[in-house]
Amino acid sequence: MKELHLTVHNATGLHARPAKVFVNTAKQFKADIRVQHGGKRANGKSLISVLTLGVERGQQIAIFIEGEDEDEAAAALTAIVAAGLGEGAAEPAVAVATAASTPTPAAAPTATPANVLHGVPAAPGVAIGPLFRLRNVSEVPAHLIGAVAGTDAEETHRLQTAIAQAREQLTVLRRQLVQRGAAAEAAIFDVHLEILEDDDLLSAVGDRIRRGESAAQAWQSVITERAQAVAALDDPLLAGRAADLHDVGYRVLRLLVGAGEGGLRLPDHPVILVAQDLTPSETANLDPTRVLGFCTAAGGPTAHAAIIARALSLPAVVSMGAGVLDLADGTLAVLDGQNGVLVVAPDAVTVAQAQQRRERWLAARLASEQAAAEPAITTDGVRIEVVANIGGVAEAERAVQAGAEGVGLLRTEFLFLDRNDPPDEEEQFRVYRDIVQAMGGRPVIVRTLDIGGDKPLPYIRVPAEANPFLGERGIRLCLARPDLLRQQVRAILRASAYGPLRIMFPMVADWNEWQRARQMVLEVARELGVPPVPLGIMVEVPAAALLADVFAREVDFFSVGTNDLTQYTLAVDRQHPSLAGMSDGLHPSVLRLIAHTVEAAHAAGKWVGVCGELAADPQAIPILVGLGADELSVGVPAIPTVKAQVRTFSRAEAEQRARQALRCATAAEVRALLPAA
Ligand code: PEP
Ligand code: MG
């Protein structure tokens, strides 16, 4: 038996996604794996069981491993925990975006009239309409739950059928969200699918069935018990995952008692929904022609329901307190998702003002969407390419609809994540080909595999590192495993026959890395008998920015990855939970590195794109354009608004603003140069 004592150092501890990475790694081994923390013990192969340990960042866990492959299991678990359990920038980025786009409520509650309720802003926009309280949407009538049990075999069969149907529904729901352009949000349902396969949970239900309970009774008891245990945890982020358990739990329960999908029963006119909380499925299923927006008594701005609301452009306010549940159905209200306010029974003046703000909000959205296909040209005639950051074929299709002029960053990691073996050349080729075809002749920049650091893969073992962000990641990792890179380059070059592809390498810090990577592309092109494609590097490490004049002699283009460039320039971990405020890409030091890169590139006749989150920040856009960025590469939903903003200023004004920014001492001073959008 092996015993490990590890510290969990990723940002959010063992919450849903990191716990899933842990459990998936554990499941690859035959050995029995138990995890112990704070006097509780969990089955290391059960997501729920691991979640209920409530492990937070910085806490220790003990792992007991017993079985023929215990050594391999111990090495893999040590590596995955050390590498941060797959916690990428996605969650902190969402939290930061929320904070930026949804200011905290103004005005102290004592100064507000009694009909004005405050909550936490969750999704911007204004809605005006009658309230409608959602009652007991998830409840299954007690008389159905209490039905007499059949034989063990019958009840087990019923349970298995309901789980299979639930899996089918979730897969469809997930696909629909991806088609609506909410790929990241769709991943929430992966956790639900995982819960449906949870060994520990299923065996607890099986035990109850064997003791004579009906499948519905057994399922309800076990889900309620586990959800209570998760909800009781100290950590609010973990406790929020109880909603996931309830959500998937009730989905199966409704199927078990024949209540079907149990969609929300809503009035036939548009309403503002009021609920205790909304589950992710409920939010994803909301019909925007019937629901103007929603407010909840519980929930938080980073909860899945809020994330989905933002993706669907539904104004939302959460965490309003139980008082909101007492409001009578049909009462007219104004919901302000931007400021986190609900005005109940507003007077005529308030309604008229809200109406104007709603119209402005809708008009701005519509105008930017309608003009999305038009180029982004500054008022003095400088065209800025606005392209998309994507992770897959469906997103490429959405990007074209949203007006993307190409793909500035294809994060190829998506193909390698959540699986047990790397995709082979053929699979990669098909995906790259489909993406370039979906883009219909627009250029696609494929970034070679960027893993390690915050993005570990279970099947690529990297020895535990004290500082994974300063360790084997990005191009370093690929050059240390040339077969992996060569296979990817072959697939990309084969796909380049179907449309304009370019390749860029992540995390380049040294001239030799560029040389070796470039050499490999040239060799593979010769082998395949195809012409090489344009090659560029990401500028994510200060070394690359400082040596931009040297790199500019050979690279065809640069793309500034401000997420990592900010992290390495300011020495602030991009996932750090309490240093998020310091990690601002508008820091003058980062801007000086970008300015240096652009000058060096332009002097050599090369172009520069920006593909980090900063490129979609309304306060940063004029400064980046003023510094000379030729291309902005942003998430798909941001494309129309980024284009619209570029059309509102001149390059000359932007250059002046950029010059002022470069002289500032702090990021706050830079931000003060431009009003918040
Ligand atoms: C970046 O670092 O800015 C970037 C775009 O790469 P990623 O976020 O994938 O690390
Ligand atoms: Mg990066």
In this structure, the residue with its CA closest to atom 6 of ligand 1 is 561
Atom index in ligand 1 nearest the CA of residue 559 equals 5
Q: Is the CB of 391 under 6 A from ligand 1?
A: no
What pLDDT does residue 438 have? Answer: 97
How far is ligand 2, taken at its centre, from the CA of residue 374, in Å? 29
Q: 89 CB under 6 A from ligand 1?
A: yes
Q: Which atom of ligand 1 is nearest to the CA of 612?
A: 3
* Residue nearest (by alpha carbon) to ligand 1 atom 8: 563
From ligand 2's centre to the CA of 5, what distance in Å? 31
Please identify, by atom number, the ligand 1 atom nearest to the C-alpha of residue 413: 9
Q: pTM of the entire structure?
A: 0.59
Residue from 91, 94, 411, 537 whose mutation best tests the ligand 1 pocket (most atoms within 8 A of CB): 411
Closest atom of ligand 1 relative to the 454 alpha carbon: 10
The helix (run of H) or strand (run of E) holding residue 17 is helix 16-27
Ligand 1 atom nearest to 389, measured from its CA: 5
CA of 476 to the centre of ligand 2 (A): 13
- Cβ of 93 closer than 6 Å to ligand 1, yes or no, is no
Nearest-angstrom CA–CA distance, 297 and 277: 6
List the residue whose alpha carbon is closest to atom 9 of ligand 1. Answer: 411
| C-alpha triplet 328, 329, 333: angle, nearest 5° | 85
What is the distance in A from the centroid of ligand 2 to the CA of 478?
15
**SS3 category, 40:** strand
Query: Which of these, 1, 133, 612, 645, lies nearest to 372 by C-alpha position?
Result: 645
Instruction: State if residue 474 touches ligand 1 by the CB under 6 angstroms criterion.
Output: no
Rounded CA-CA distance 591/596 in Å is: 9
Cα–Cα distance measured from residue 26 to residue 19, given in angstroms and rounded to the nearest whole number: 10
For 625, the token pair is 């354009």
553 Cα to the center of ligand 1, angstroms: 24
Which residues are catalytically annotated?
304, 611
Whether residue 454 has its Cβ less than 6 Å from ligand 1: no
- How much distance in Å is there from the Cα of 507 to the middle of ligand 2? 7
Q: Say how far apart CA 624 and CA 453 lie, in whole Å.
A: 27
SS3 content of the chain, % helix, strand, coil (to 5): 50, 15, 35
Closest ligand to 88 CA? Answer: 1
| SS3 (DSSP) at 312 | coil
17 Cβ closer than 6 Å to some ligand 1 atom: no
166 Cα: distance to centroid of ligand 2 (angstroms): 37
Ligand 1 binding pocket includes 46 (Cβ within 6 Å) = no
Ligand 1 pocket, mutate which of 477, 563, 567, 597 (most atoms under 8 A from CB): 563
Q: Helix H segments across 63-116?
A: 70-82, 90-101
- Measured in angstroms, how far is the CA atom of residue 47 from the centroid of ligand 2? 29
Question: Whose Cα sits closest to atom 1 in ligand 1?
Answer: 561
CB neighbour class for 264 (10 Å; exposed up to 12, middle 13-18, buried from 19)? middle
Ligand 1 near 612 CB (within 6 A): yes
Q: What is the mean pLDDT of each run of 10 residues along the chain (677 residues)?
A: 89 77 88 91 88 85 94 90 68 28 34 77 88 63 66 91 88 73 68 87 93 89 85 65 77 73 66 83 76 84 62 83 82 91 95 95 86 95 96 90 96 80 94 97 96 74 81 92 96 98 98 98 98 97 98 98 94 68 88 98 98 86 97 88 92 96 95 69
The reply to whether ligand 1 has any atom less than 6 angstroms from the CB of 455 is no
Kindly give the number of the ligand 1 atom that is closest to the alpha carbon of 409: 5
The interaxial angle of helices 242-256 and 188-196, nearest 10 deg, is 60
Tell how far the Cα of 120 is from the centroid of ligand 2, in angstroms.
31
Shortest-distance atom of ligand 1 to CA 611: 5
Instruction: Return the ligand number nearest the Cα of 447.
Output: 1
Ligand index nearest the alpha carbon of residue 612: 1
What 3-state DSSP class applies to 262? coil
| Residues 176, 188: Cα–Cα separation, whole Å | 13
Q: Which atom of ligand 1 is nearest to the CA of 560?
A: 3
From the CA of 411, how far away is ligand 1's center (Å)? 9
Q: Please name the residue ranges forming H helices in 496-546.
A: 511-528, 542-546
The reply to whether ligand 1 has any atom less than 6 angstroms from the CB of 563 is: yes
Ligand 1, residues 451, 475, 564: which to mutate, most atoms within 8 A of Cβ? 564
Query: How many other CB atoms sit within 10 Å of the CB of residue 188?
Result: 25
